[in-house]
Structure 1
Amino acid sequence: MVPPPEHDPACAVAHGEAAGDGDARTLVAVFASPVADFLLRYGADLGYHGVLVEPDPGRAAAARSSATDVLTASPTDLGGSADVVVTDHHRPELGVVLRDLLRGRARWIGVMGNPRHPGPHVQALAELGVPADDIARVHRPVGLNIGSRTPPEIAVATLAGLLADRNGRPGGFAF
């Protein structure tokens, strides 16, 4: 007879034998975009409370049709369990939104974009007088390198990267 394996809490959760950790988590997607839609949709399945920050009133009104909270200004009361993903690095509001988010206590802040190109957030934040140590808190690129091309794939890669970081893991298949 094979002895039972040691108790593995993650395995018990996966088999429906135990509840998850119950940690309150917030996922803030900045700027309404197809990727933001998938991030918030998939994030809900992962236990995140979704928030969309869209400073443009017209875009914010259009985004309110979803069940996600929509804010037109960066939240200042983010707790240490919030993960923030900026989904469009071409918006003129990029610097101001990031500056305001950096003033909060978000656990993680990242900006999507091609890692082969300089991140425009660095210059935008420097021009606003944001200290270099705060600028360095902004992650780029975001997500796991799985070759994602479509908005749903980008959302999956990003959420997998957030989960890996949250759990202190490198991501990928290395154990």
Structure 2
Amino acid sequence: MTTSEACAVAHGDAPAESTERTLVAVFASPVARYLLAYGADLGYRVLLVDPDPERDGADAFPDLDDRTDVVVTDHHRPELGEVLRDALAGRSRWIGVLGNPRHPGPHVEALAAIGVAEADVARVHRPVGLNIGSRTPPEIAIATLAGLIAERTGRPGGFDF
């Protein structure tokens, strides 16, 4: 895309390139709600997956392909290992788990406990998103989506161009 084409898109004078992308938020949570809303605004096909039948998500993953980003929004749920194992079985472009980077990721132990290979565990990103000091669910969702965009486009994030 040339500079003038990009400018036209930014000003709403031309449509953005259409790329079929899917964003899967795992576990119904306040962050998931914002991820799905903002993700839809960004052109993602969005889906909530939550194995708890009392919640409003699908109970299983769709066909995960190289245009799918998976974000696990609650690292305290007992189903963490099984859900990540199922996500890793697909061909997702990217899989990440929210959590404080100053604490060990509980997903590592959860995956090891069910026999997931270390190479697959290493495919799970943590922390996720750009380091903008986010604290609230909407801020966390914005940081996460910005990080996905930066990673997908090969950019460092931040203010380095």
Q: TM-score range by the shorter chain?
A: over 0.9
The whole-number CA distance in structure 1 between the counterparts of 2:3 and 2:10 is 13
Alignment of 1:55-134 (within 5 A): 55-60=51-56, 70-75=57-62, 77-134=63-120
**Alignment deviations for residues 146-173 of structure 1 (CA, whole Å, 9 cap, x no partner):** 0111100100100000010111101001
Aligned partner letter, 1:18: A
TM-fit CA distance, 1:11: 1.7
Scaled by the length of structure 1, what TM-score is found? 0.88
**Alignment deviations for residues 18-54 of structure 1 (CA, whole Å, 9 cap, x no partner):** 2212010100000000000000000010000110001
Task: Give the count of matched residue pairs.
Answer: 160
Structure 1's unaligned 5+ residue stretches are: 1-5, 61-69
Scaled by the length of structure 2, what TM-score is found? 0.95
Aligned partner letter, 1:155: A
Residue 35 (structure 2) pairs with residue 39 (structure 1): yes
Q: 1:157 aligns with which of 132, 143, 149?
A: 143
Aligned partner letter, 2:128: V
The whole-number CA distance in structure 2 between the counterparts of 1:8 and 1:81 is 27
Q: Percent identity?
A: 72
The whole-number CA distance in structure 2 between the counterparts of 1:143 and 1:156 is 8
Aligned partner letter, 2:124: V
Corresponding position of 1:138: 124
Aligned partner letter, 1:72: D
Question: What root-mean-square deviation, in Å, do the aligned CA atoms of Structure 1 and Structure 2 show?
Answer: 1.1
TM-fit CA distance, 1:15: 1.8
The whole-number CA distance in structure 1 between the counterparts of 2:43 and 2:143 is 17
Q: 1:52 aligns with which of 41, 48, 60?
A: 48
Structure 2's unaligned 5+ residue stretches are: none
The whole-number CA distance in structure 1 between the counterparts of 2:80 and 2:145 is 21
The whole-number CA distance in structure 1 between the counterparts of 2:119 and 2:55 is 32
Greater Rg over alpha carbons, structure: 1
